[in-house]
Amino acid sequence: MHLYLRVTKMQVEKVRYEINWKNFKVGYSFFIPCLDPPNALKEITPTLKRLKYKFVHKIVLEDGVQGIRVWRV
């Protein structure tokens, strides 16, 4: 079974994000600003599980903005 990686659109709190998974290497991360981090995590989890990569996440405050930082490990 081949998993075709390309740009995947995710929607978190009605905002669309596009991530090029083919170029998303181990050690890379992305930040999603959000008002409700636990709910936002529920919204992105299906995409992360579908990719079958290992990820870690942390609820963070970056430049005064609350959100989730997700790393590929």
Residue 61 placed within a domain: yes
Give residue-wise pLDDT tens across range 14-40.
888 888 888 889 999 999 999 999 999
Please state the pTM of the whole predicted model. 0.79
- Find the domain containing 65 and state its range: 7-72
Task: Give the whole-number percent of the chain exceeding pLDDT 70.
Answer: 89
Query: What's the whole-number mean pLDDT along residues 39-55?
Result: 88
Strand order in the sheet with 55-62: 29-33, 65-72, 55-62
Residue 20 placed within a domain: yes
Residue 1 placed within a domain: no
Residue 23 placed within a domain: yes
Instruction: Report the number of distinct structural domains present in the chain.
Output: 1
Residue 62 placed within a domain: yes
Residue 30 placed within a domain: yes
The full DSSP string for 16-71 is EEEEEGGG--TT-EEEEE-S-HHHHHHHHHHHHHHHT--EEEEEEEETTEEEEEEE
Q: Which two tokens stand for residue 29?
A: 């991360």
Predicted confidence (pLDDT) at residue 56 exceeds the cutoff of 70 = yes
Residue 2 placed within a domain: no
